[in-house]
A and B are shown apart, each in its own frame.
Chain A
């Protein structure tokens, strides 16, 4: 399986999913023109990746300084997908990374955390 690499643009984050180290990262800002079209390859890659997972420890780093409401919906769908994988025995942890003076990013992280029961979700101040 190949890594997934999408370089950042003015309105989309950098995406780097490393298949060999099991580190997945989404970093930057997210307000794409067409949110579902932008994230479609991300979901496709993840589906294949999760199916191939055995006992690897996966870390998902999310470091978004800004995202719009449609990206928020997509993130929720993404976390739901990861949570389902955890419920099926996969070992996945989300690290929600935020800048100490970006109060909003911290609040968003808390909102997500409360909506997830089984997915380990850590708030990490950077």
Chain B
């Protein structure tokens, strides 16, 4: 096991990952790891705009895991009974570009709607997505949304490159959803 952790650490170092959290997610974990991220950005004198883009994407990704992820540690993997959904999030720095990746487990039935939605908003140009964001912000929140339903749009608007996402097969019920944003 110790050998494995060393390998993980080396792999992270090679990829420029300076922050990684993997485990049960909660608002408390978001706040404490978020503060660590802020400190790192301050120490590295990242400019204000990039600073808040990075922090914003980090918060939105983390909140998505908390709201929509599935718990794989508890006895019950049913979505509605999930207290601390499993998630993994990494932040890397390479040549002044920050890459934030997040991954979590979702139920199979969540895939089609999420995939369709991501493809739709991903193809929007900056002006269209800005208008869409404002239109959605004026509307009432959809019933299956646990937040304002603006998080994914926010992530895309803050990214300097198109986001990349994938769904990996776990078993007949669950998938691993992951997303990468670069700033």
- Interface segment, one of A50-58, A86-94, A97-105: A97-105
Cβ contact within 8 Å between B55 and A72: no
User: How far is A76 from B135 in the complex, measured between Cα atoms in Å?
Assistant: 11
Cβ contact within 8 Å between B148 and A69: yes
Q: Is A8 an interface residue (CB 8 A)?
A: no
Residue of B nearest to A104 (CB): B52
Cβ contact within 8 Å between A69 and B153: yes
Cβ contact within 8 Å between A66 and B48: no
Q: Is B59 an interface residue (CB 8 A)?
A: yes
Query: Which residues of A are found within 8 Å of B27, using beta-carbon distances?
Result: 11, 33
How close is A106's CB to chain B, nearest CB, in angstroms? 10
Interface membership of chain B positions 66-80, coded 1 if the CB is closer than 8 angstroms to chain A and 0 otherwise: 000000000000000
Q: Is A114 an interface residue (CB 8 A)?
A: yes
Cβ contact within 8 Å between A69 and B134: no
Cβ contact within 8 Å between B48 and A68: no
Cβ contact within 8 Å between A66 and B138: no
Interface membership of chain A positions 22-37, coded 1 if the CB is closer than 8 angstroms to chain B and 0 otherwise: 0000000001010100
Cβ contact within 8 Å between B147 and A69: yes
Residue of A nearest to B38 (CB): A66
User: How far is A83 from B35 in the complex, measured between Cα atoms in Å?
Assistant: 35
How close is A77's CB to chain B, nearest CB, in angstroms? 9
Residues of A in contact, count (CB < 8 Å):
24
Which residues between 109 and 134 of chain B lie within 8 Å of chain A, taking CB atoms? 130, 133-134
Q: Is B53 an interface residue (CB 8 A)?
A: yes
Which residues between 134 and 155 of chain B lie within 8 Å of chain A, taking CB atoms? 134, 137-138, 141, 147-148, 150-151, 153-154
Of the candidates A69, A73, A103, the one whose C-beta lies within 8 Å of that of B49 is: A103
**Interface, chain B (partner A; CB < 8 A):** 27, 31, 35, 47-49, 52-53, 55-56, 59-60, 63, 130, 133-134, 137-138, 141, 147-148, 150-151, 153-154
A68-B63, A73-B147, A74-B148 known, 18 other contacts, Cβ within 8 Å = A31-B59, A31-B63, A65-B52, A68-B59, A68-B151, A69-B60, A69-B148, A69-B151, A70-B63, A70-B150, A72-B137, A72-B150, A76-B138, A99-B48, A104-B49, A111-B134, A114-B134, A115-B138
